[in-house]
């Protein structure tokens, strides 16, 4: 039996809309074995509302790989132990895509490299910023160029704690993308481009004081505030509690903050308090950064 363990991810990191992300130590675990007929089962903390049918993302990813290899599907029995909260901006759909690709590739004899799987996962997801850290771990930067992915690892972000709050309501990524304008002003483009430079430098050099500016954004966060009540106050609260910076995680509603070592829990609890005052149920975490990316092992 194969276990594919895929980390949750936080995309955007503020200014890095659709191009930056990091992996955290919260996992969806897929146990997979060849079987007479294909079957997908869901267990764990988050089973409600997830499609387990043949059109779910795990199977769609697996089928894409078999099509590319021009091989008939291998019937697989797969169980997902779901610990990544879905539709919260933590890359749960990417875990299914990456899980399906890695499992299908394994049982096909590992013909494709991890980078080839990144390109396939990006085609399925439409943007690479969750699937890249899910596959490689750590902090990642990606760019789409002539239909291909340019991938750079920005390292493991040592000496940084995370604070993560996960509200008890969902935001559909499609809806959160549909509200974004097609066109942005030159001033906003320059604002974000300059801050992606700062974010990159912050992670490459461990110069985390740059995260205050690097997590500022004009392309998506303010535009999504209507879907994520209290967002401005949450970002302010993280700063008040000494975080280097904070950002909407993916398309939300989770929020991530970058903190000094050991400070993640206090910042997360402080941010959670902001939402609890608004009557919103929320869970506070201080997860470590996952540096391994998705892993496979025989169990
Ligand atoms: N970069 C994407 C977005 C991530 O913000 O829409 C979605 O998980």
Residue-wise pLDDT for 125-160, tens only, equals: 999 999 999 999 999 999 999 999 999 999 999 999
Among 176, 222, 225, name the best residue to mutate to test ligand 1's pocket (greatest count of ligand atoms within 8 A of Cβ). 176
- Determine if ligand 1 sits within 6 Å of the CB of residue 177: yes
Q: What is the pLDDT of residue 177?
A: 97
State pLDDT tens for residues 93-112.
999 999 999 999 999 999 99
Confidence of residue 82 (pLDDT cuts 50, 70, 90): very high
Q: Fold for 161-285, please state it.
A: Alpha-Beta Plaits (3.30.70)
Ligand 1: distance of its center to the CA of 219 in Å? 11
Q: Is the CB of 128 under 6 A from ligand 1?
A: no
Q: Which residue has the tokens 């904070």?
A: 246
- 50 pLDDT tier (thresholds 50, 70, 90): confident
Does the CB atom of residue 93 touch ligand 1 within 6 A? no
Strands 76-82 and 39-44: parallel
Could you tell me if 289 and 23 are in contact, meaning their C-beta atoms sit under 8 angstroms apart?
A: yes
Asked if residue 267 lies in contact with residue 238, where contact means CB atoms within 8 angstroms, the answer is: yes
Ligand 1, atom nearest to 129 Cα:
1
Determine the distance separating the centroid of ligand 1 and the alpha carbon of 266, expressed in angstroms: 27
C-alpha 89 to ligand 1 mean position (Å)? 7
User: Cα(202) to centroid of ligand 1, in Å?
Assistant: 21
CA distance 84 to 130: 13
What is d(CA 274, CA 282) in angstroms, rounded to the nearest whole number?
A: 10
Residue 290 Cβ < 6 Å to ligand 1: no
- Contact of 247 with 206, CB cutoff 8 Å: no
- CATH fold of 2-155+289-298: Ribosomal Protein S5; domain 2 (3.30.230)
* Residue 49 confidence class, pLDDT cut points 50, 70, 90: confident
Q: Is 130 in the pocket of ligand 1 (CB under 6 A)?
A: yes
Q: Tell me: pLDDT of 47 over 90.
A: no
Q: What is the structure's pLDDT at 182?
A: 96
Sketch the domain layout of the chain as residue ranges.
2-155+289-298, 161-285
- Give residue 273 CA to ligand 1 midpoint distance, Å: 25
How many angstroms separate the alpha carbon of residue 206 from the centre of ligand 1? 25
Instruction: State how beta strands 139-145 and 76-82 pair.
Output: unpaired
Q: How far is the CA of 124 from the centre of ligand 1 (A)?
A: 13
Residue 51 has pLDDT above 90, yes or no: no
Question: Looking at residue 181, what is its pLDDT?
Answer: 96
- Is the N-terminal amide bond of 55 cis, ω within 30° of 0? no
Question: In this structure, what DSSP letter does residue 72 have?
Answer: P
Rounded to whole angstroms, the Cα distance separating 147 from 119 reads 9
pLDDT over 90 (residue 54): no
CB 221 within 8 A of CB 248: yes
Q: Is the CB of 228 under 6 A from ligand 1?
A: no
Say which DSSP state 53 is in.
S
Q: Which atom of ligand 1 approaches the CA of 12 most closely? A: 1
Cβ-contact 170, 87 below 8 angstroms? yes
- Pull the structure tokens for residue 93: 């759909």
pLDDT tier for residue 226 given thresholds of 50, 70 and 90: very high
> Is 64 a residue whose pLDDT tops 90?
yes
Q: In terms of DSSP H, where are the helices of the chain? A: 57-69, 92-107, 114-125, 131-136, 173-178, 186-205, 211-214, 221-224, 231-240, 264-277
- Summarised one tens digit per residue, pLDDT across range 161-211 is 999 999 999 999 999 999 999 999 999 999 999 999 999 999 999 999 999
pLDDT of 52 over the 90 cut: no
Chain-wide mean pLDDT for the chain? 97
Regarding the beta carbon of 129 and ligand 1, being less than 6 Å apart is answered yes
Expressed in angstroms and rounded, the spacing between residue 214 Cα and the centre of ligand 1 is 17
Using CA atoms, how far apart are residues 83 and 43, in angstroms rounded to an integer?
9
Q: Ligand 1: which of 8, 12, 21 to mutate, judged by most atoms within 8 Å of the beta carbon?
A: 12
Give the model's pLDDT for residue 91: 98
d(CA 33, CA 160): 38
Amino acid 224: pLDDT: 97
Q: Which of 122, 123, 220, 236 is nearest to 173 (CA)?
A: 220
CA distances from 249 to 3, 56, 103, 113, 293 (A): 27, 23, 27, 28, 18
């Amino acid at each position: 039996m194969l276990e594919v363990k895929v980390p949750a991810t936080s995309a955007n990191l503020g200014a890095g809309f659709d191009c930056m992300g990091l992996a955290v130590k919260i996992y969806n675990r897929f146990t997979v074995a060849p079987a007479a007929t294909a079957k997908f089962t869901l267990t764990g903390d988050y089973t409600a509302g997830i499609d387990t049918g043949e059109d779910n993302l795990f199977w769609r990813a697996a089928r894409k790989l078999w099509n590319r290899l021009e091989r008939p599907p291998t019937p697989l029995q797969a169980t997902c132990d779901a610990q990544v909260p879905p539709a919260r901006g933590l890359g749960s759909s990417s875990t299914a895509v990456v899980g399906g690709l890695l499992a299908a590739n394994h049982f096909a004899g590992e013909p494709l490299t991890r980078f080839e799987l990144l390109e396939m996962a990006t085609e399925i997801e439409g943007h690479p910023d969750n699937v890249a850290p899910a596959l490689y771990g750590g902090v990642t930067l990606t760019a789409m160029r002539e239909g291909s992915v340019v991938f750079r690892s920005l390292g493991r972000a040592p000496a940084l704690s995370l604070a993560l709050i996960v509200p008890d309501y969902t935001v559909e990524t499609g809806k959160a993308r549909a509200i974004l304008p097609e066109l942005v002003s030159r001033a906003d483009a320059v604002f974000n481009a300059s801050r992606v430079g700062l974010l990159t430098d912050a992670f490459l050099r461990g110069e985390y004081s740059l995260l205050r500016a690097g997590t500022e954004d004009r392309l998506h966060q303010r535009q999504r505030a209507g879907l994520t009540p209290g967002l401005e106050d949450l970002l302010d609260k993280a700063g008040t509690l000494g975080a280097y910076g904070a950002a909407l995680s993916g398309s939300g509603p989770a929020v991530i903050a970058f903190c000094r070592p050991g400070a993640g829990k206090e910042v997360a609890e402080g941010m959670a308090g902001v939402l609890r005052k608004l009557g919103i149920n929320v869970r506070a975490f201080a997860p470590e950064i996952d540096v391994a990316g998705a892993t496979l092992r025989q169990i």
